[in-house]
Structure 1
Amino acid sequence: MAEQALPAWKRTFEEAGSQILFLGSFFKNIFKRGFEWSEFIRQCYEIGYKSVTLVGLTGFIMGLVLTLQSRPTLSDFGAESWLPGMVSLSIIREIGPVITAIICAGRVASSIGAELGSMNVTEQIDAMEVSGANPMQYLVVTRILATTLMIPILTFISDAVALFGGFLAVN
């Protein structure tokens, strides 16, 4: 029985070790010279601007539905005046960031995965290494930093549109 569990533990530690090495390589490459600003801007466009429609629509529907579902319950208790505060607090604090992160994780991760997978199949990553370019710095660092910058901006947009949807549902 212990023999069967050993390979699983070994795989777990090997995977954890490779993740730690990847993280170390990422932090090492952040501070290297020759940061690819043009690729960073392109990734901000791909991650941020191209996600605005999906995030905005999701936020609008979220605010609309939350307001429409909460109003009858609050009116039963005579607390309809609490509706704007409750909706805005729950959107800004709780629901908005989570829904935006889930939407962006699906859209952005699939986009990045497809792009890098296609580059790997067509051996573009190998060609970058042969030509002396650093694929970690060009492909990974720019995407992680662009995602780190754009997700809070998309969360703000989602929250604003959700509050507008809640406003329309009340009036």
Structure 2
Amino acid sequence: MKIGFLNIKDNTFLTEIGEIWRFTMRFFREINKPKQEYEEFVHQCFWIGYKTLTLVGITAFIMGLVLTIQSRPTLVEFGAESLLPAMVSVSLIREIAPVITALICAGKIGSGIGAELGSMRVTEQIDAMEVSGTNPFKYLVVTRVMAATLMVPVLSSMANAIALYGGYLGVNIRGQVSWHLYWFQVFDALSFGDIIPAIIKTFFFGFAIGIIGCFKGYYSKKGTEGVGRSATTAVIVASLLVFIIDLIAVQITDLLGLT
């Protein structure tokens, strides 16, 4: 039986979950081994972070602007227009900005890693590294997963700031709110219970995106067709994991009384 991108036949789906788990456990074993690839790690941070910042920034700005404009009529109807900066800030910081940023990263970073490692697999570059005595898992996988885990929270934090600035412009399209008053209302509405859980879950988003992209690319098969399939499935699975992690994070936050 086939459901979307999941081919549930002869326990194939469960087998792949087990392989992803083994791949993740191997990552934690390899990360503690000596000879850290710092140069490659910095290069991946640049590629993942700087090269994605423009896309994330534009999306975050539009997101903050549109959310503010769309929310105004409802608040005006209830006579609560003054609450607009507070509502926008809580919505962006707690949920919208982190999740949208993670989905953008899943599309760009996940597919990029999957295609890159997939190409290296089908052209036997990874096999050549193994024969030459180099640890390809340490060089290719560990560095990319660590870079994604670090840079997605950084991108999410920048997206928060840019989205809030977009919200400021949105508030002033049909109103008149000073710069100082806007930011006072924004930070007055926020608490550590809003900010800290939102930042913590972005580390898990980044890890999931990196590990899935590397897994799909590292074990790519069937030539160039397999490379395309690896990139596509990396995006789909990573995006699905982002929503699952977000759901779990919301439940944990609620149980801890941080909502």
Q: Normalising by the residue count of structure 2, what TM-score does the alignment of the two structures yield?
A: 0.61
Rg larger for: 1
- Cross-structure match for 2:129: 128
Range 13-22 or range 141-150, more displaced:
13-22
In structure 1, how many angstroms separate the alpha carbons of the residues matched to 2:21 and 2:13? 12
Unpaired segments ≥5 residues, structure 1: 1-6
- Cross-structure match for 2:244: none
How far did 1:124 drift?
A: 1.0
- Cross-structure match for 1:74: 75
Provide the secondary structure at the position in 1 that maps to 2:10: helix
How far did 1:118 drift?
A: 1.6
In structure 1, how many angstroms separate the alpha carbons of the residues matched to 2:118 and 2:16? 20
Provide Cα deviations, 1:142-169, integer angstroms capped at 9, x if missing partner. 1111000000000001110000001011
In structure 2, how many angstroms separate the alpha carbons of the residues matched to 1:169 and 1:46? 32
- Cross-structure match for 1:149: 150
Which consecutive segments of 4 or more residues in structure 1 shift more than 4 A? none
- Cross-structure match for 2:17: 16
CA-based RMSD: 1.4
User: Matched residue pairs, number?
Assistant: 165
In structure 2, how many angstroms separate the alpha carbons of the residues matched to 1:13 and 1:67? 43
Provide Cα deviations, 1:55-103, integer angstroms capped at 9, x if missing partner. 0000000000000001111011110010000000000001000100000
In structure 1, how many angstroms separate the alpha carbons of the residues matched to 2:85 and 2:18? 48
- Cross-structure match for 2:104: 103
- Cross-structure match for 2:114: 113
Question: Bigger relative contact order, structure 1 or 2, given CA contacts below 8 A and separation 6+?
Answer: 1
Provide Cα deviations, 1:3-53, integer angstroms capped at 9, x if missing partner. xxxx623x3443333223212211110000011001100110111000000
CA distance change for structure 1 residues 81 and 152 in 2, over 3 Å: closer, same or farther?
A: same
In structure 2, how many angstroms separate the alpha carbons of the residues matched to 1:85 and 1:36? 44
Range 120-129 or range 60-69, more displaced:
120-129
Taking only the aligned residue pairs, the percentage that are identical comes to 62
Q: Is structure 2 residue 45 aligned with structure 1 residue 47?
A: no
Provide the secondary structure at the position in 2 that maps to 1:8: coil
Q: Normalising by the residue count of structure 1, what TM-score does the alignment of the two structures yield?
A: 0.92
Give runs of aligned pairs for residues 27-46 of structure 1, distance below 5 A: 27-46=28-47
How far did 1:139 drift?
A: 0.6
